[in-house]
Amino acid sequence: MSDSRPVHILQGCGVTCATTDLPVLKPFRAPPIAPSGLAAPVVIGGAALTCVALLFGASLAHAQLGAATGRDGALAILLRWAPLIFQGFLFNILISFLAMALGTVVGVVAGIAQVSLAAPVRKSAWALTQFFRNAPWLVLLFYAMFLLPFEFRVLGLTIAFPAWVKAIIGLALPVAANVSEIVRGGITSIPSGQWESAESLAFSRRQTMWMIILPQAVKRMIPPWMNLYAILTMATTLISVVGIQDGLSITRGALIAESRPDLMIPMYLLLLMMFFAYCYPIARATLALERRFSVRA
C-alpha cells in the first residue's frame, strides 16, 4: 500500500520540515509464520514407540502371570536372553554396514556408467541396474548362498568362503542397483546449463563430472542413500532364512530353548524395538537433509 500524505524529514541535529506529494511505501510487516507441521513425524514416531512399549509391557506381564510355579519368570528369562539377542542385532548392523559399503562402491560405478556417452556401456549398466533392482532380495540371497563356492583354492592353499560373506554379496547386489539409480538420478537432476558452461570453459567431460556435476549431485543423493540404508538394515533379518545366526535366529532359538510360547510376543517385540531405535533416527535425519538440500525455485 502507499500513502501520499506529506512526509517530514529530520536532518542532522536540527529538524527540517519538508513536504512531498510523492507516494511513500509503508514498511512491510511479515505475517506470523504458521506451524509447518514438521513436528508431525516426531509425534507419530513417539506415539508408535509408546504403543509398542505398552504392548511389550502388557505381553510381558501376561507371560509373567502365566508362568508355572517353580519356573523362572518371564522377566528373568527375557533378561537372560537379552544380551545374546543384542549381540545378534549388532551382527545385523555389521552386515548392513559391509553390504552397504560394497553396494555403494559398485552402485556409484554403475550409476556413472548409466550416463556414459558410449552406448554399449550405458545400455549394459542400465540392464544390470534394472535386473537387480527389480529382483526379490531373498532370491538374490539364495543365489549368492548356493551358487558361490564354499572355498577357493589358490596356489595350493584352501581359502574358506564363509556364509556371512556370501550373505553380504547377496544383499549388496540389490543395494548396488538402487545406488546406481540414485546416482543416475542425482546426475541427471543437475541442469544442463552446468554442462554447457563447463564445455564453454574448455573442461573435459571427466573434469566436468568430477569437479562440477558430482559435487552438486552428492547433496541430492544423500537422503535417498540414507533411506536405502535403513531399508537394508531391516532386510538383514533375511540372512536367518539361510542359516546365519543373527538377532532373529537367536530370538527364535531362545523361544525353542525355553519352550515358552507365551514369550513369543515380548521377545520379538524386544528385537523390534532394537531395530526401531536404530532406524528411526536415520529416517528423521533423512527428512532433515531432504528439507535442507531441497531444490528451491
The domain total for the chain is: 1
Decide if 19 is inside a domain. Answer: no
Q: DSSP letters of 41-68?
A: HHHHHHHHHHHHHHHHHHHHHHHHHTPP
CATH number, residue 266: 1.10.3720.10
CA 144/CA 132 separation, integer angstroms: 13
Residue 118: helix, strand or coil by DSSP? coil
Decide if 137 is inside a domain. Answer: yes
pLDDT of 166 reads: 92
The predicted-structure confidence for 103-159, as pLDDT tens digits, reads as follows: 999 999 999 999 998 999 999 999 999 999 999 999 999 999 888 888 878 887 888
Decide if 63 is inside a domain. Answer: no
Q: Is the pLDDT of residue 39 over 50?
A: no
pLDDT of 16 reads: 47
For residue 112, give the nearest of 208, 227, 219, 231 by alpha carbon: 208
Decide if 284 is inside a domain. Answer: yes
pLDDT band at 41 (very low <50, low <70, confident <90, very high): low
pLDDT band at 38 (very low <50, low <70, confident <90, very high): very low
Greater confidence (54 vs 115) lies with 115
Q: Is the pLDDT of residue 45 over 70?
A: no
Decide if 18 is inside a domain. Answer: no
The predicted-structure confidence for 204-235, as pLDDT tens digits, reads as follows: 888 888 998 898 888 889 989 999 999 999 99
Decide if 47 is inside a domain. Answer: no
Decide if 44 is inside a domain. Answer: no
Return the residue matching grid coordinates 531362545: 254
Return the residue matching grid coordinates 510360547: 261
Q: Is the pLDDT of residue 285 over 50?
A: yes
52 CB contacts (<8 Å, ≥6 apart)?
269, 272, 273, 276
The grid coordinates of residue 49 equal 514407540
Q: Are 271 and 247 in contact (CB under 8 A)?
A: yes
Q: Is the pLDDT of residue 95 over 90?
A: yes
Return the residue matching grid coordinates 508431525: 40
For residue 162, give the nearest of 106, 98, 224, 225 by alpha carbon: 98
For residue 129, the enclosing domain spans: 73-149+157-292
Where does residue 95 rank: exposed (0-12), middle (13-18), buried (19+ CB within 10 A)? buried
CA 96/CA 92 separation, integer angstroms: 6
Decide if 28 is inside a domain. Answer: no
The predicted-structure confidence for 150-189, as pLDDT tens digits, reads as follows: 887 888 788 888 889 999 999 999 999 999 999 999 999 8
The predicted-structure confidence for 253-283, as pLDDT tens digits, reads as follows: 988 888 877 788 888 888 998 999 899 888 8
